[in-house]
């Protein structure tokens, strides 16, 4: 009798262990704050941004902090999962359009600013602009995002999911929030 009871106890423990461990891993969902490592590449393989050597990028899914396609690509991932997300221009920074090439008076810029062709500036609204041409009294700028019209490929690894209402794990040092790939940042600048 004692042997049969012991056997039943072993079976019960083993069953609860195996069935208890079969729970599906949590998937990142709308409202979760997530941390990801990523590398962004253009079609030719040029890396335009990466979290390598920095803290993982932290953002809230559905919070409007990221370009829509990136945000959508992370949804459904599980911690430790790596995937490649390819975004067409309409899922990222839109198409490059001629109506965003604008001629403005030089007086719109600080008088001590030496404007040069190819120079990247930030508009008063925070959007990056590129100086295309400098004339005696006007400047032609391109207000298209530098990545507009380009297909972007991101290799993404989900590092952590923080459900709504929970605080992120302490890292032991101050963590500055990164700002890649969102619509208001120039991600083509040197990440130095």
- Residue-wise pLDDT for 3-61, tens only, equals 554 544 445 444 444 455 557 899 999 999 999 999 999 999 999 999 999 999 999 99
Whole-Å CA distances, 90 to 8, 19, 49, 87, 145: 60, 44, 19, 8, 13
Whole-Å CA distances, 14 to 1, 10, 19, 28, 71: 20, 6, 8, 30, 40
Domain assignments of the chain as residue spans, ordered by start: 98-142
Residue 147 has pLDDT above 70, yes or no: yes
- Residue-wise pLDDT for 148-183, tens only, equals 999 999 999 999 999 887 776 654 433 333 444 544
Degrees, nearest 5: CA angle 49-118-90: 50
Give the residues across from 60 on adjacent strands.
33
- Residue-wise pLDDT for 66-97, tens only, equals 998 999 999 999 999 999 999 999 999 999 99
Tell me: domain 98-142, CATH 2.40.10.330, correct? yes
CB 147, CB 93: distance < 8 Å: yes
């Amino acid at each position: 009798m004692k042997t049969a009871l012991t056997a039943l106890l072993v079976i019960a423990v083993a069953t609860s262990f195996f069935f208890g461990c079969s729970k599906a891993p949590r998937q990142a969902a709308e409202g979760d704050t997530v941390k990801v490592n990523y590398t962004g590449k253009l079609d030719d393989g040029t890396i335009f941004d990466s979290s390598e050597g920095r803290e993982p990028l932290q953002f809230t899914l559905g919070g409007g902090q990221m370009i829509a396609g990136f945000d959508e690509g992370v949804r459904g991932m599980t911690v430790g999962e790596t995937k490649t997300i390819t975004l067409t221009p309409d899922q990222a920074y839109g198409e490059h359009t001629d109506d965003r090439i604008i001629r403005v008076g030089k007086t719109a810029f600080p008088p001590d600013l030496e404007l040069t062709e190819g120079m990247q500036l930030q508009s008063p609204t925070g959007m990056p602009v590129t100086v295309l041409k400098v004339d005696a009294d006007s400047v032609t700028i391109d207000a298209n995002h530098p990545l507009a019209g380009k297909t972007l490929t991101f290799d993404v690894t989900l590092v952590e999911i923080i459900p709504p209402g929970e605080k992120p794990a302490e890292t032991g040092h101050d963590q500055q929030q990164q700002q890649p790939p969102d619509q208001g940042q120039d991600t083509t600048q040197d990440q130095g």
